[in-house]
Amino acid sequence: MEKREHTRNNTKSLVDFATRGWTYLRSIENISNGGMFIRTRDIIGPGEELDMHFSFEGKRSNRKGKVAWTAENGIGVRFLSS
């Protein structure tokens, strides 16, 4: 069984994020205190930094993140310290 540092919460929220001069609006599949999984088929590689704007549990957040890994259906993003 895989052990995670942070508990994931499934959600159907949207995230607006920017990288490399492009802006995207995509779905968040799950989120934790450490990061989120964003559903996308856009080519965004590991190490790319994102400026993200999203709502979760009624709270609006503006966070920076870094793509930690990629999959065919999305990207795993680790939140950066503010």
Looking up residue 62, the CATH number of its domain turns out to be 2.40.10.220
Query: pLDDT tens digit string along 2-28?
Result: 566 778 888 889 999 999 999 999 999
* The pair of three-digit structure tokens given for residue 41, joined into one six-digit string: 């088929």
Number of structural domains the chain divides into: 1
Would you say residue 31 lies in a domain? yes
Query: Which tens digit of pLDDT belongs to each residue from 39-71?
Result: 999 999 999 999 999 998 889 999 999 999 999
Short-list 31, 34, 44, CA closest to 71: 44
Q: What is the DSSP letter of 73?
A: T
Q: What is the DSSP letter of 39?
A: E
E strands, the chain, are: 9-10, 14-19, 22-31, 35-39, 49-56, 59-71, 74-79
Tokens of 18: 């920017």
- Residue 67 lies inside a defined structural domain of this protein: yes
The answer as to whether 6 is a domain residue is no
**Containing structural domain, residue 47:** 11-79
In a domain, 29, yes or no: yes
